[in-house]
Amino acid sequence: MKKAELLKTEHDVQLKWLNNQIAKIANDGALAFKNPKTGERSFNKMLNDNMGIPSNSDIEHFVSTHISETGIRKLVTTLRVYLKRSGAERLQVELTKSNKQLLDKLVDVSGKTKIEIINQLIGNALISDFQREEEQLDLKV
C-alpha cells in the first residue's frame, strides 16, 4: 500500500501514535513535528474542539500540516507494522538446533519467510497426527 493511501486508513492507530509523540516531545518525539510547539498546541486544540475524538479528516489534515518528513516515515512504518500484525498473535518459541537449521533451509529454498513457513506447516497439519491415543480410540467408536 502506498504512503498516501496508508495515511488515509487506521485513524485510531494514527491518533494513538500522535498522542505518544506529543507525550515524548521533550525527548525524541519533537523530531516528528515540523514545529513541535505549534504541533502540540494544534493537537490539543483539535482534541478540545472535538471532545477528544477528532474526525478522520481532522487527523489527516493535522498529519499533513504538522508532521515532518521524519515523522511521516515513522508513522507510515508504524501503520505498516500494525497492518501486518493485526489478526496475528505473537509467539516466542524455542527450536532444537537441527529444526532451526531445517527451517533456515526451507527459507532459503522457498523464498518464504519463517512466519509463512510455520503458518503453512501448521495449516497443513492433520489434527489426528497429534491426538493422544485415548482420544483417537474415542473417535473410532
Higher pLDDT, 141 or 110: 110
**Contact between 41 and 5 (Cβ < 8 Å):** no
Q: Torsion over CA of 62, 64, 65 and 68, rounded to 10 degrees?
A: 110
Residue 85's pLDDT band (boundaries 50, 70, 90)?
Answer: confident
The mean pLDDT of 77-87, rounded to a whole number, is: 91
Prediction pTM value: 0.67
Percentage of the chain surpassing pLDDT 90?
Answer: 72
**Contact between 7 and 63 (Cβ < 8 Å):** yes
Percentage of the chain surpassing pLDDT 70?
Answer: 94
Residue pointed to by grid coordinates 508532521: 67
Give, in order, the Cα–Cα distances in Å from 61 to each of 7, 13, 118, 136, 139. Answer: 10, 15, 41, 60, 60
Would you tell me how many other CB atoms lie within 10 Å of the CB of residue 83?
A: 14
Q: H or E stretch including 104? A: helix 97-110
Q: Torsion over CA of 111, 112, 114 and 117, rounded to 10 degrees?
A: -120
- Residue 118, SS3 per DSSP: helix
- Residue 83, SS3 per DSSP: helix
At residue 136, the pLDDT reads 56
At residue 137, the pLDDT reads 57
Q: pLDDT per residue over 6-33, tens digit each?
A: 999 999 999 999 999 999 998 887 899 9
**Contact between 43 and 62 (Cβ < 8 Å):** yes
The span from the CA of 52 to the CA of 12, in Å, is 12
